[in-house]
Amino acid sequence: MERPRILVVGGGFAGVECARRLERRLSPAEAEIALVTPYSYQLYLPLLPNVAAGVLTPQSVAVSLRRTLHRTNIIPGGAIGVDTQAKMCVIRAITDEVVVKRYDYLVLAPGSITRTFDIPGLNQYARGMKTLAEAAYIRDHVIAQLDLASATQDRAERESRLQFVVVGGGYAGTETAACLQRLTTAATKRYPRLDPRLVKWHLIDIAPRLMPELGDKLGRTALDILRRRGIDISLGVSVAEVGADSVKFTDGRLIPSRTLIWTAGVAASPLVGTLGAETVKGRLAVTADMRVPQLDGVFALGDAAAVPDLAKGDGAVCPPTAQHGQRQGKTVADNVVALLRNQPLAAYRHRDLGLVVDLGGADAVSKPLGVELHGPAAQAVARGYHLMALRTNVAKARVAVNWTLNATAGDDFVRTGFQARRPAALRDFEYTDSYLTREQVKEYTTSLLAKG
């Protein structure tokens, strides 16, 4: 008798946690488990700002899936379409070959992409902070701006190279601005020809508050810490236009700058659009047990799904965070097992563990289990949480050693020359144009069925 085929799409927090739990709960004879992911590692996204600042090496936050998963078939590639009637997933392999994978149970955790808007110059000149390559590129780019500013005789060019703009006052944007500002502050001491007062970081967000999830008191504390360090924070402001050497804000200001880091939110993976299912603000509508209504054997979770937040009620959905993704992955795995064994399914409920925000060095704010902390105590909680959340002992050791080395030896300002002669933008790192239309998906699966 053929084993049921479970296909997990996405190697992020939700997908990997689901596959890990399926391995633990199912015997090899009960099901065949496969995971589709473009890379053979799970990216620990919350620590990307540390990579961009050079505090952590890139491999420290890239947790090997072959260490994490032991009998799951890892399919290197990206899911680009799903035919839910034929129960087939269309995959573009890393060889660029398009293949079709059959499934009996499908777990959709394809994650999200950077959300952009129709702002002139944004896609051409903005950089993102969603992938490991982007974090590595931004580090090289920022240090290169210091090198070039030190070398040029043109005052206007120097000014534009030494001003940096980060858009997005959430966790990613705030931590990115904080960690990189700390890096450039330390770096300018090594550049005799640069006036540290010319180096300026701008953090802007259209929202009226910085990281509203922190609450009023802790949010103000974070704001005060960043402003004391010299970061210019503008709320209720966004970007009107981006040029090669300037950024125009919606309040009319024109900032000479050659660096715009865009972290203003995420949108669900375009894979969602190939299913033809109901969505909520672009995310797949799912029931409390994370099944996609009317689609047999299909579950969705993480950033790509609007999972009801039963703890809040009133139609609220869970935010796209790592904490929710990991817990949802466990619940979906349990529900797939329950379907296989004809047992009742469970609704997803969570207890918030709190929030941690690393502002670089000893600066941090955190709210573990509702207790508000800032300074070294908050940093200890933040780093303890991240070490606990990393899934392999090798990853934990690498991160702990990197943090210790940075604390004792200080920052380094070496750049690798990554894409030095080719400016990279959002569109160069997120392959949003590789997905199929529903009609194309149907063509692939119909052709395969015709061949038998």
Q: What is the CATH number of the domain that holds 309?
A: 3.50.50.60
Residues 132 and 249 placed together within one structural domain of the fold: yes
Residues 168 and 197 placed together within one structural domain of the fold: yes
pLDDT in the model for residue 277: 93
Tokens representing 37 are 């992911």
Mean pLDDT of 301-309: 96
**CATH number, domain with residue 225:** 3.50.50.100
**Which of 238, 264, 290 is the last residue before a domain boundary?**
264
**Residue 58, in any domain of the structure:** no
Count of structural domains within the chain:
2
Mean pLDDT of 42-61: 95
pLDDT in the model for residue 73: 97
**Residue 355, in any domain of the structure:** no
Mean pLDDT of 33-61: 95
pLDDT in the model for residue 420: 63
The model's pLDDT over 321-380, given as tens digits with 9 standing for 90+, comes to 899 999 999 999 999 999 999 999 999 998 888 889 999 999 999 999 889 999 999 999
| pLDDT over 70 (residue 421) | no
Residues 302 and 439 placed together within one structural domain of the fold: yes
More confident residue, 28 or 422: 28
Residues 131 and 105 placed together within one structural domain of the fold: no
Residues 124 and 242 placed together within one structural domain of the fold: yes
Split at pLDDT 50, 70, 90, the class of 387 is very high
pLDDT in the model for residue 354: 85
**Residue 392, in any domain of the structure:** no
**Residue 359, in any domain of the structure:** no
The proportion of the chain whose per-residue pLDDT surpasses 70, expressed as a percent, equals 97
Residues 150 and 189 placed together within one structural domain of the fold: yes
Split at pLDDT 50, 70, 90, the class of 452 is low
Which of these, 359, 402, 94, 422, lies nearest to 231 by C-alpha position?
359
**Residue 425, in any domain of the structure:** no
| pLDDT over 80 (residue 411) | yes
Neighbours of 185 (CB within 10 A): 17
**Residue 138, in any domain of the structure:** yes
Q: What is the mean pLDDT of the chain?
A: 93
pLDDT in the model for residue 258: 96
Residues 78 and 134 placed together within one structural domain of the fold: no
Split at pLDDT 50, 70, 90, the class of 431 is low
Structural domain harbouring 304 = 5-45+63-114+267-350+430-451
Mean pLDDT of 24-45: 96
**Which of 215, 245, 264 is the last residue before a domain boundary?**
264
Residues 183 and 303 placed together within one structural domain of the fold: no
Contact (Cβ atoms closer than 8 angstroms) between residue 66 and residue 39: no
| pLDDT over 90 (residue 164) | yes
Q: Worst-scoring range by mean pLDDT, 36-40, 167-171, 422-426?
A: 422-426
Residues 29 and 174 placed together within one structural domain of the fold: no
Residues 166 and 214 placed together within one structural domain of the fold: yes
pTM to 2 decimals? 0.93
**Residue 377, in any domain of the structure:** no
